[in-house]
Structure 1
Amino acid sequence: MKPTIGIMSYRWLTSLIQSIAYKYTDTVKLITVDTILDNVLPKALEMEENQEADVFVSAGGNARLLSRHLKSPLIEVQVTGFDILLALKKAREYSERIGVITYQSKIPCLEEVTNMLTFSVRELTYTTIEELDSILDILQAEGIETIVGSSLVMERAQLRGMSGIFIYSTQGISLALDAAVKVAISKKIESERAERFRIIIDFAYSGIIATDKDGKVTVFNPSAEKIMGIPKRKVLGNKVEDVIPNTKLMNVLNNPKPELNQLQSIGEIKIITNRIPIIVNGEVTGAVASFQDIGSIQRAEETIRKRLYEKGFLAKSSLNDIIGKSEAIRQIKNEAYRYAKTDSIILIMGETGTGKEIFAQGIHNYSLRSKHPFVAVNCAALPENLLESELFGYEEGAFTGARKGGKPGLFELAHGGTIFLDEIGEISPKLQARLLRVLEEHEVMRIGGDKITTVNIRVLAATNKKLWDLVARGDFREDLYYRINVFELQIPPLRERGEDAFLLGSKFLSKLRPEIDDKEISKLLGHPLYRAYHWPGNIRELKNVIERISVLYEVGVNHTSLLTTILRKKTIESPGYLEVEEIYKVLKDVRGNKTEAARRLGISRTSLWRKLNS
C-alpha cells in the first residue's frame, strides 16, 4: 500500500499542486483538501485520527496553524527567493507600488532585496481574516492596488478590485512535495517495521518487559500480562521495581551485563528469564527481559511429545492381545503386568519370533507412561554409526550429509515415554558406553553438539542371546548387563506352550480365511503333523505357515497332503536351523529380496543375515 500525503491548500495553491500531481502518483497517494484557516484544523485532525495520511503538506496560514496541533509530520511549502522575485516581476507589470502580505511573519531577506529595486514594495503581516481586510483597506487608501500573497490574500484583494499576484511557484511546491514523499516513504517503512515489531512482541510466547534508562516500563507484552497476572495499564510508564514484585531487571541497568537462564520466583510462579541491557553507542539506554513460566514450558513440551505420539510413536498391542492359555504364557504375562507398573528397566529374553516386541508394547500400554511415545529400534538392523545417530541425534554439520538444522535422536523423541531396544546384544562396545551413561544420568548429547539434554524415559530391552555368555567373552559390558537386568522376562518358545500353537493358528487362519468354519479349522490344525511340529521360528514362523495354509487350502483338500507339503522340510530341521540350500532356494525365488525371503522362511531379517554369515 502506497504512503499517503494529505495536502491542505486553498484555491490557487490547490490548482498549482494538481497541475504537477501526476509526477507523484506512482510513488504516493495524494489527498488534496481545499480549505482555509478555521476549517483546516478540524479536517486535518480527523484525517490524522483515522490514519488517512502519513504526512501533511500545507502553506502560509494553514501551515502555521497545523504545525501547532498535528502530531504527524508537516512539510510547509516555503516561499523561495525565486518565488518572490518572480512574483515581484509580475506585479511590476501592473504597478510600481506593490504590497506584499504574509501570515504572521515577514519573508526573510525581502527588505534587503527591495532596497535594490527601482519600485516601491511595502510588506505587511496579518493573523486573522479581519486583520487582513483592514490591511487591504489601508493599502488601497494609500493607492497601492497590486498585492502579492497567498490564495486567501489574492481572494480578498480581488474582492476589492485590486490586482493579485500568487506568491508561490511550481518550483517551491515541487521542493515541498519531494520532501514530503521522502518523509512519507520513510515513515511508512518505519511504521511497518514498528508494526512487525509490535506483532512479534505481542505474539511472542515469552513474556517481554523493557524499560528506559530510568527503569520506567516501556514494553509489557500480553504474555507478560498472562504470566504475571498484572494488567499492562498498571505497568507501562511506571518504575519497574514499583509494579513487578521481586524484579531483578534493575540489576542490568546498574551493572550492564547479560544475565541468562536465571530462575526466579514471581509470587507463586517460577520463571526462567534472560535479562540484558540495551546499549546504544556505548551508553545504557534501557533493559529488556524475556521469560517463560516453567510450568508452561513443561506443558508445551508435553504437547509436542503428544503430537509425536500421535504421528506414530505408539504401541499398538496390549498384554491382553497375547494369545495363550498355557501355564508358561500365563505366568510370564502375570509377571509382565506386575513389572509394567514399575518404572524400572526390563530385559525381555527369548528366541527369535517369540513376540518380545508384543510384550514390550503391552508393558508400555499397561504402564503409567501409556499416553506418551513408544519408540522401538532394532539395534541389529543398523550399522554402528547410523545406530548412534538414530539414538542420539545430531547437530547440523556434524557429518557429511547431516540434515540442515540437525535431528533429534530417538532418546529425545521418547521423552516421557518408553524406548524399546531390540537385539541389545548386538550393540558395539562404544555404543554400550554411551547407553550406560544415558541409563545412569538420564542425559543425552547429540553427535557434534555440546548441549546436554535431560530425558525422562523408561527403557525396555530385548535379546535372543544369552547376555551373560557375551559378558564372559568380553563382548558385552558387565556394568551395562547389571544395569539393564533389573527385571527379567523369559518368553517361552512356542514348542513349550502346549495348546497355544493350536489357539494361535486358529486365530490367524480365521482372520485370513473367515469362510472356513471352526470345525474344519479344528480338524486341520488338530492334525498330528501340525501338533508335532516344534516351531523353531516360533510365532513368526507359525504366522507364515498359516498364511501358506490359507492360500493353498481348498474345500475337500487332504489335510495330510497339505500339511506335508508345507511342513515336510521343517519337520527334519533341528530347532533354530535352516538348511543353506533352502535359504538360497528361497532367495532365488524372491530374486535376492532378503526381507521377503525372511518372511517366507518364518525368521527375522536379522536371523537370516546371521545364518548366511555363519
Structure 2
Amino acid sequence: MAPEPLKPRIAVLISHLTFDGQPSKLTRTLNEILPRYERQADIQIVETSVEKLLSTAKALEQTQGADILICSGASAEFLRKHITTTILSFRMGEYDLIRALNVAKERGTKAGILTHQRTLKELEEMSGLFTVEISQAVYTSLQDAREKVRDFVDQGIRVIIGSPTVVDLAEAAGAEGVFAINANAVRLTLDDALAICHSRAEEAHNHRRIHAVLKHMNEGVVALDASGKVFSVNDSMNTLLHPLRSIAIGDQAKTHFPDIDLNGVLTSGTAIESHLSTVGSQRLAISVLPIMENGQIDGAILTCQEIREIQRTERRLRAQSRPRHFIAKYDFEQLAGKDTTFQNAVQLAKLYAHSDSTVLITGESG
C-alpha cells in the first residue's frame, strides 16, 4: 500500500508592533476558516512582533516548517528580500473595502486607507459613490506607515483601514483601526497557496519519473528545464565525463557543454542531432531534443554517447544481421575429384565447417 502524500505546509505569519500573546482579529478569522482546509494542508498560525518577524521567518525556513508563508503586504515585501521561501500577501477584495468603509460611515467620520506601495485606483474612480469621505495613502516601511497614520489623525480622520500593522498603529495613535481583510480574502489567499503547492508537487512527481527512467539508460542523459538548468542527470553521464567534470542538479548545462547551442534549442525548438564534441581524450556524439508541453518549449533532453561505443554497437548489429548458418547446396561426399591437392582442400573445408569464422578463399577464380 502506497503511503499517503504529504500535505502542503502553509504558515500564516502575523506581525504586531507589540505582541501580548492575545489572538488578533486575523487569527480569529483564520480559526473559523481553517477546519475547511484540514484535509488539504497543514496550516499553522504564527503571531509575532515586528521586531521578531525576520527571525521567526528564518526559523521556519531553516526547519522547513513551511512550503509557503502568508503575511500582509509590507511584511511580505520585507521578507522576500531576506529569505527564499515563497511568500504570498493577503488579497484585498472590493467587498473588504466596502465593509470597512461602512464602519467609517457608521462612525460618521472620514476614512483613511493606508496600503503598501500603491493606492487603489479602482477606489478613486468609485469615490463619488460613497457617502463617506475617503483619503488614501501608501507606505513603504514601518516608520513611513507610522508617519502616514499620524498624518491621517492630524487631518481629523478617526477610522483608518489597512493591514494588521496599520490597525495597530492606528489604535496606538488614538484612532480606530479597521482590518481591511475579511474571511473571503483569507480564503482566496489560502486557495492561491494551495494551487502553488499542488503545481510544485506535480512538477516534482514528473521530475522523479524522468529521473527513474534516465537512471536505467546506458547513454549519458541530462534533463533541462526551460531556463537551461539541470533538473535530472544520470550516472552514465557523469561516468562519461569523469574525471574532467561532474554535473549536478541546478547547474546551468551550458557551462558543461559550451560548444552546444542549448539556448537555440530552448528558444526555437530546433533539435541538435549527433553533434561531435571532444571531452578530454574522448570523442562524444551529443544530441539535444526539446521537451514540448502544450505547444510550448518546456525544457530539453541532452544525450551523450562515446563514439567508440557507437562503433561497437554498429559492429554488433552488423554481425547479428548476417545469417548465422549458410545452407549447403552439396555435401562433401558429392564432390568428385581424386587429385591430392583437391582432396587436401576438401579436408580443410571439413575442418573449417565447424567454425562460424569468415574464410578467405584464394585461387585462380578467387
> Secondary structure at the residue paired with 2:168?
helix
What amino acid maps onto 1:4 in structure 2?
R
Q: 1:175 is matched with which residue?
A: 188
Shift of 1:15: 2.6
Shift of 1:2: 1.5
Are the aligned partners of 2:223 and 2:299 in contact in 1 as well (CA < 8 Å)?
A: no
What amino acid maps onto 1:157 in structure 2?
A
Say which of 9, 33, 38 aligns to 2:14.
Answer: 9
What amino acid maps onto 1:126 in structure 2?
Y
Q: 2:361 is matched with which residue?
A: none
Matched, 1:127 2:140: yes
Matched, 1:278 2:290: yes
Are the aligned partners of 1:56 and 1:75 in contact in 2 as well (CA < 8 Å)?
A: yes
> Secondary structure at the residue paired with 1:44?
helix
Say which of 24, 47, 71 aligns to 2:37.
Answer: 24
> Secondary structure at the residue paired with 2:145?
helix
Say which of 147, 158, 170 aligns to 2:160.
Answer: 147
Structure 2 counterparts to residues 201-220 of structure 1, below 5 A = 201=214, 204-209=217-222, 218=230
> Secondary structure at the residue paired with 2:102?
helix
After superposition, the Cα gap between the structure-2 partners of 1:53 and 1:191, relative to the gap in structure 1 and judged at 3 Å, is farther
Q: 2:57 is matched with which residue?
A: 44
Are the aligned partners of 1:212 and 1:285 in contact in 2 as well (CA < 8 Å)?
A: yes
> Secondary structure at the residue paired with 1:188?
helix
After superposition, the Cα gap between the structure-2 partners of 1:102 and 1:470, relative to the gap in structure 1 and judged at 3 Å, is same
Shift of 1:45: 4.5
1:203-243 superposed Cα distances (whole Å, 9 cap, x missing partner): 754322578999x8857654323222222369954756xx6
Distance 1:131 1:185 in 2: 37
Structure 2 counterparts to residues 562-577 of structure 1, below 5 A = none
Distance 2:276 2:137 in 1: 71
Matched, 1:87 2:100: yes
Distance 1:52 1:193 in 2: 24
Structure 2 counterparts to residues 293-372 of structure 1, below 5 A = none
Distance 1:442 1:203 in 2: 25
Q: 2:303 is matched with which residue?
A: 289
Q: Which TM-score applies when normalising by structure 2?
A: 0.66
Question: Which has more helix, going by share of residues?
Answer: 1
Say which of 218, 221, 232 aligns to 2:246.
Answer: 232
What amino acid maps onto 1:231 in structure 2?
R
Distance 1:255 1:60 in 2: 39
Could you say which structure has the greater relative contact order, defined with CA pairs below 8 angstroms and 6 or more residues apart? Answer: 2
Say which of 197, 201, 205 aligns to 1:192.
Answer: 205
Distance 1:265 1:68 in 2: 43
1:505-543 superposed Cα distances (whole Å, 9 cap, x missing partner): xxxxxxxxxxxxxxxxxxxxxxxxxxxxxxxxxxxxxxx
After superposition, the Cα gap between the structure-2 partners of 1:85 and 1:483, relative to the gap in structure 1 and judged at 3 Å, is farther
Which runs of no fewer than 5 residues in structure 1 stay unpaired?
Answer: 302-414, 416-440, 445-451, 460-466, 473-479, 489-614
What amino acid maps onto 2:195 in structure 1?
K
Distance 1:144 1:199 in 2: 63
Q: 2:3 is matched with which residue?
A: none
Identical counterparts, % of pairs: 20
1:480-522 superposed Cα distances (whole Å, 9 cap, x missing partner): 997664499xxxxxxxxxxxxxxxxxxxxxxxxxxxxxxxxxx
Shift of 1:28: 1.8
Shift of 1:61: 1.5
Are the aligned partners of 1:227 and 1:293 in contact in 2 as well (CA < 8 Å)?
A: no
Are the aligned partners of 2:114 and 2:160 in contact in 1 as well (CA < 8 Å)?
A: yes
Shift of 1:170: 0.5
Structure 2 counterparts to residues 462-541 of structure 1, below 5 A = 485-486=351-352
Shift of 1:169: 0.7
After superposition, the Cα gap between the structure-2 partners of 1:50 and 1:5, relative to the gap in structure 1 and judged at 3 Å, is same
Are the aligned partners of 1:209 and 1:217 in contact in 2 as well (CA < 8 Å)?
A: no
Q: Which TM-score applies when normalising by structure 1?
A: 0.42
> Secondary structure at the residue paired with 2:11?
strand
What amino acid maps onto 2:25 in structure 1?
W
After superposition, the Cα gap between the structure-2 partners of 1:207 and 1:166, relative to the gap in structure 1 and judged at 3 Å, is same
Distance 2:226 2:152 in 1: 58
Q: 1:544 is matched with which residue?
A: none
Distance 2:236 2:350 in 1: 44
Distance 1:264 1:134 in 2: 64
> Secondary structure at the residue paired with 1:35?
strand
After superposition, the Cα gap between the structure-2 partners of 1:160 and 1:187, relative to the gap in structure 1 and judged at 3 Å, is same
Question: Which has more strand, going by share of residues?
Answer: 2
Count matched residues.
Answer: 318
Matched, 1:106 2:119: yes
Are the aligned partners of 1:249 and 1:275 in contact in 2 as well (CA < 8 Å)?
A: no
After superposition, the Cα gap between the structure-2 partners of 1:284 and 1:66, relative to the gap in structure 1 and judged at 3 Å, is closer
Say which of 105, 129, 137 aligns to 1:116.
Answer: 129
Distance 1:124 1:102 in 2: 7
1:34-91 superposed Cα distances (whole Å, 9 cap, x missing partner): 2355543444355445544333322231223234555554332222111111111123
Distance 1:95 1:200 in 2: 68
Shift of 1:22: 1.2
Q: 1:310 is matched with which residue?
A: none
Shift of 1:92: 2.2
> Secondary structure at the residue paired with 2:98?
helix
What amino acid maps onto 1:278 in structure 2?
P
After superposition, the Cα gap between the structure-2 partners of 1:208 and 1:152, relative to the gap in structure 1 and judged at 3 Å, is same
Distance 2:221 2:191 in 1: 40
What amino acid maps onto 1:167 in structure 2?
A
Shift of 1:7: 2.1
After superposition, the Cα gap between the structure-2 partners of 1:132 and 1:105, relative to the gap in structure 1 and judged at 3 Å, is same
Which runs of no fewer than 5 residues in structure 2 stay unpaired?
Answer: 1-5, 16-23, 326-330, 337-345, 355-366
What amino acid maps onto 1:8 in structure 2?
L
* C-alpha RMSD of matched pairs (Å): 4.8
Are the aligned partners of 1:54 and 1:187 in contact in 2 as well (CA < 8 Å)?
A: no
Shift of 1:185: 0.6
After superposition, the Cα gap between the structure-2 partners of 1:282 and 1:9, relative to the gap in structure 1 and judged at 3 Å, is closer
Distance 1:244 1:139 in 2: 60
Say which of 90, 103, 111 aligns to 1:77.
Answer: 90
After superposition, the Cα gap between the structure-2 partners of 1:484 and 1:29, relative to the gap in structure 1 and judged at 3 Å, is farther
1:148-186 superposed Cα distances (whole Å, 9 cap, x missing partner): 222122223333443222211111111111122112111
